[in-house]
């Protein structure tokens, strides 16, 4: 399968020489085509896309902003595509935040993202220190190897569907007053009967956050299917994640962030992640903000679960709504049709028919 490399060039060519070199080496021998300008983004539906983004010293790229504008304005621009990302910057800032911004825009334009789709190259490449040690190479060699691996996965990985998908729903909300829970109830009724659904609530002090155990200790407990701190994560969440084909997070916006218990849950998944990758498990989200900021929370889910913990990101993975008073989300005039479309998207992603 051929790759399309979307590569918005910088006006100062010197600033992208490292990325030029890495792409030439990592993609050697592959059938690829390159797109450098926003006006050439049309007719990419169904393709495998590697978005290679060089940043300047200010963390910017003017041609990328033109591309971002098209992605945000044209919701079907990347319909049926699967993507991976390379973001290369001359400093230690802006690469991760830009990647999350780009990933959300691609996803809302119809593009799925591989689990762990991002190759992030900071100016020093110090973020490749562990990979370089494991591979027995230098930092530049680890960077090149990561791009080559991502390209290989883009060419060959296909997300599997199931006759009866197993869906795990995680929340930390009240059933009685939560707009997020009301959306989930309405969504569940639309999914139909061909699902195995497990719902786990993480409220009322039932969950301790990760305390940052040493790597070897975390690995030791992870290999045995547990965590040093035990509790609901070890007893309920870990077994449910292992069995799940997809994870649905119910995400009310708390101060422009995920709730504390959901954040703690994601942090505690590290012990399980050390044992296995989640490339073949999808992540979805229902995100509700009282006033604004749904995109901020959605980017956090992408960064934490897709880019870090390796969950597959289906196209249009999040349904986002603005609602404050109880019942306000469901009262929105277009909510019924949006829930219908989201349920259908989940079925297309997960159900083998």
- For residue range 80-111, what is the model confidence (pLDDT) as tens digits? 999 999 999 999 999 999 999 999 999 999 99
Q: Are residues 32 and 134 part of one domain?
A: yes
Q: To the nearest 5 percent, what fractions of the chain are helix, strand and coil?
A: 45, 20, 35
Q: Are residues 179 and 149 part of one domain?
A: no
Q: Is residue 210 part of a domain?
A: yes
Q: Is the pLDDT of residue 175 over 90?
A: no
Q: Is the pLDDT of residue 221 over 50?
A: no
Report whether 140 contacts 127 (CB < 8 A).
no
Q: To which residue do tokens 């028919």 refer?
A: 353
Number of structural domains in the chain: 2
pTM of structure = 0.92
- At residue 217 the predicted structure's pLDDT band, cuts being 50, 70 and 90, is very low
For residues 156 and 148, give the distance between their C-alpha atoms in angstroms, rounded to a whole number: 13
Q: Are residues 41 and 19 part of one domain?
A: yes
Q: Are residues 299 and 254 part of one domain?
A: yes
Q: Are residues 259 and 128 part of one domain?
A: no
Domain boundary among 138, 156, 174: 156
Q: Are residues 294 and 178 part of one domain?
A: yes
For residues 344 and 351, give the distance between their C-alpha atoms in angstroms, rounded to a whole number: 10
Exposure class string for 255-281: b at 16+ Cβ within 10 A, else e: eeebbebbbbbbbbbbbbbebeebeeb
Q: Are residues 204 and 94 part of one domain?
A: no
Range of the domain at 126: 3-156
Q: Are residues 212 and 144 part of one domain?
A: no
Q: Is residue 161 part of a domain?
A: no
Q: Are residues 345 and 199 part of one domain?
A: yes
Q: Is residue 25 part of a domain?
A: yes
Q: Are residues 52 and 70 part of one domain?
A: yes
C-alpha closest to that of 101 among 263, 295, 311: 295
Give the sheet arrangement for strand 282-289, strand by strand: 196-201, 166-171, 246-252, 282-289, 318-322
- At residue 301 the predicted structure's pLDDT band, cuts being 50, 70 and 90, is very high
Q: Are residues 248 and 173 part of one domain?
A: yes
For residues 19 and 25, give the distance between their C-alpha atoms in angstroms, rounded to a whole number: 10
Q: Structure tokens of 212?
A: 């940052």
Q: Is residue 128 part of a domain?
A: yes
CATH number at residue 105: 3.40.50.360
pLDDT of residue 228: 44
Q: Are residues 332 and 228 part of one domain?
A: yes
Domain boundary among 104, 123, 156: 156
Report whether 288 contacts 297 (CB < 8 A).
no
pLDDT of residue 2: 85
- CB-CB neighbours of 286 under 10 Å: 26
Q: What angle do CA 288, 342, 112 make, to 5 degrees?
A: 95
pLDDT of residue 234: 81
pLDDT of residue 227: 47
Domain boundary among 102, 124, 156: 156
- At residue 1 the predicted structure's pLDDT band, cuts being 50, 70 and 90, is low
Percent of the chain with pLDDT strictly greater than 70: 92
Q: To which residue do tokens 């639309």 refer?
A: 190
């Amino acid at each position: 399968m051929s790759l399309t490399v979307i590569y918005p060039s910088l006006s100062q060519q010197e600033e992208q020489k490292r990325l030029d070199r890495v792409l030439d080496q990592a993609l050697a021998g592959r059938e690829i085509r390159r797109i450098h300008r926003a006006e050439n983004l049309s007719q990419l539906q169904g393709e495998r896309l590697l978005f290679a983004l060089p940043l300047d010293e200010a963390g910017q790229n003017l041609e990328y902003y033109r591309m971002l504008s098209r992605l945000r304005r044209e919701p079907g621009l990347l319909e049926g595509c699967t993507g991976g990302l390379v973001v290369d910057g001359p400093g230690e800032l802006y690469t991760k935040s830009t990647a999350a911004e780009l990933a959300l825009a691609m996803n809302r334009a119809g593009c799925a993202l591989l689990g762990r789709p991002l190759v992030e190259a900071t100016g020093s490449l110090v973020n490749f220190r562990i990979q370089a040690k494991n591979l027995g190479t230098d930092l530049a060699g680890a960077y090149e190897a990561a791009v080559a691996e991502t390209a290989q996965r883009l060419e060959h990985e296909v997300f599997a569907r199931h006759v009866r998908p197993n869906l795990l729903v995680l929340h930390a909300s009240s059933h009685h007053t939560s707009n997020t829970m009301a959306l989930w109830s309405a969504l569940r009724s639309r999914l139909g009967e061909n699902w195995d659904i497990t719902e786990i609530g993480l409220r009322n002090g039932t969950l301790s956050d990760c305390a940052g155990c040493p790597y070897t200790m975390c690995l030791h407990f992870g290999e045995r299917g547990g965590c040093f701190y035990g509790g609901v994560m070890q007893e309920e969440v870990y077994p449910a994640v292992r069995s799940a084909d997809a994870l649905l997070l119910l995400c009310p916006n708390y101060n422009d962030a995920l709730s504390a218990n959901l954040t703690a849950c994601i942090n505690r998944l590290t012990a399980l992640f050390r044992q296995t990758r989640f490339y073949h498990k999808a992540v979805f989200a229902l995100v509700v903000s009282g006033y604004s900021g749904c995109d901020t929370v959605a980017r956090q889910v992408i960064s934490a679960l897709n880019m870090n913990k390796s969950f597959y990101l289906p196209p249009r993975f999040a349904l986002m709504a603005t609602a404050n008073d109880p019942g306000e989300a469901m009262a929105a005039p277009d909510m019924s049709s949006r829930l219908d479309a989201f349920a259908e998207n989940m079925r297309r992603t997960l159900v083998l028919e």
